[in-house]
Amino acid sequence: MRLPWRSFFLPPSSLDTEERQPLLSPTAQVSAPPREAKGRPEGSAEDVTEVGEVEEDRPAGEVAPASLAARWVTARVRLRAWLALGRSKAQEHRHHRRHQQQQGRSQRRHSLPQHRYHRHHQRHHRRGGPRVNLCAKYSLFCSQFLVAALSCLTLAVSLWGLADKERFSSSSGGADGGAALLPADPLLIPLLAGAGSAALAALGCAGSLRERPPLLRAFAAGLGALVCAEAVGALAAYGAREWVGEALARGVARGVERYRDDPDVRFIVDELQRGLRCCGAASYRDWERNVYFNCSSPGVQACGVPASCCLPQIDGEAALPDPVVNSQCGYGALRVSEAEALARVHAAGCAARFSAWFHTNAGGLGAAAIALLSAQVAALGLATKMLSDIEMVKARW
């Protein structure tokens, strides 16, 4: 007779032939037959059970207690039932937790616009959730780092120019000359522009690299205000072209009067006259307003004009590859006749020449302005994109 598989887990004392059949039922009451004890006659009042216990004679029809095998089987059945109950409890807990997670996702989904949620969910589903676009992040960082470097360079050059000019003014005897020239100094324009651009670019660099929404919002607000100001200024300048021309003429006339007072003004006026091949604001006669070139001046430059007003001349009879300008060619140009003066200096004024140059190069200047505005708008778009991605990540987690 083949033993059941449960018999492999039973003790050896319970594997008698007479006890195999009752093992098939866990609830069967198995009674062990009495055995003969050594030194006692058969049919004694005491019987020895399979576990070595001595029992008293029982009345006819009374069932003996369950054997160790039955207890073993009952314990195994109870253990199996307990394990099944534990598994059902664990499965119920997992279902409850999964239901809570699904409810949380549903609440976050309904708190966002549907088109934004579905777009980002489809895009980032396989990557484990939404993330900040790395292309936008590092493009914004690199562009603003370059702008910050150029702005810091401009700021350093402007500060060096102001310090050098103040040192020159103090060494020449004017104690408050530098302070008097500072409010109208031409270096203030690149100084302020460099400082503002450096601060704005620093906000963009730090906000994009560290993914900080407050810094990105400040950068976007400042850049948006700058773009709006540039657009309004360009439209206003185009609408008031005549006023701009008059303001330019007044600025050149002011530069002619301050030619010897400020080295930066002298440099700007000389470069403007050489580049546009002009002299003075309206004509070369404007130099009579300068106290150093006026005919009443006692200096050697009286009734003269700067060397930047002179026409290019060949030095001597030998033809040189580059024209050489005589530094004293403008001496006495205001004292001679107009025909003789025009043979030595430029006749046209710088205001008219600048207006003609502006109309000639209006296309290139417009393209440069559009490119600058496009770059700024692109940086503004990158900052907005990063802010949107950061908000999406926060909503996800």
Contact (Cβ atoms closer than 8 angstroms) between residue 220 and residue 387: yes
DSSP string, 339-386: HHHHTTB--S-HHHHHHHHHHHTHHHHHHHHHHHHHHHHHHHHHHHHH
d(CA 232, CA 129) in angstroms, rounded, equals 42
60 class by beta-carbon count within 10 Å (0-12 exposed, 13-18 middle, 19+ buried): exposed
C-alpha span between 377 and 220 (Å, rounded): 10
201/185 Cα distance (integer angstroms)? 25
Q: Are 256 and 280 in contact (CB under 8 A)?
A: yes
The helix/strand/coil state of 323 is: coil
CA distance 78 to 21: 21
Residue 54 — φ and ψ, nearest 5°? -100, 120
> Which of 267, 239, 238 lies closest to 255 in space, CA to CA?
267
Strands (E), the chain: 46-48, 54-56
- CA neighbor of 137 nearest in space, from 397, 387, 391: 387
Would you state the structure tokens that stand for residue 105, as one six-digit string?
């996702």
Residue boundaries of the structural domains of the chain: 1-27+66-111
Dig out the tokens for 314 from the structure: 């060949």
Q: Would you tell me the crossing angle of helices 362-396 and 350-360 to the nearest 10 degrees?
A: 60
Q: What is the C-alpha separation between 323 and 307, in angstroms, rounded?
A: 13
Ramachandran assignment for 321, one of left (phi > 0), alpha (psi -120 to 50 degrees), beta (any other): alpha
Q: Decide: residue 103, CB within 10 A, 0-12 exposed, 13-18 middle, 19+ buried.
A: exposed
User: DSSP letters along 11-28, please?
Assistant: -GGG--GGGTGGGGSTTP
**Amino acid at the residue 364:** G
pTM of this structure: 0.56
Q: Rounded to a whole number, what is the largest CA-CA distance in the chain? A: 168
Per-residue pLDDT of the chain (397 residues; tens, 9 = 90+): 444 444 444 444 444 444 444 444 444 444 444 444 444 444 444 444 443 444 445 454 444 455 777 888 888 888 888 888 888 888 888 888 888 777 776 666 555 554 454 454 444 444 556 688 888 889 999 999 999 999 999 999 888 887 877 665 555 444 344 434 444 567 788 888 999 999 999 999 999 988 889 999 999 999 999 999 988 988 888 788 788 778 888 888 888 888 888 788 888 888 888 888 889 888 888 888 888 888 887 877 788 888 888 887 654 444 444 555 567 777 888 888 888 888 888 888 888 888 888 888 888 888 998 999 999 999 999 999 999 888 888 887 6
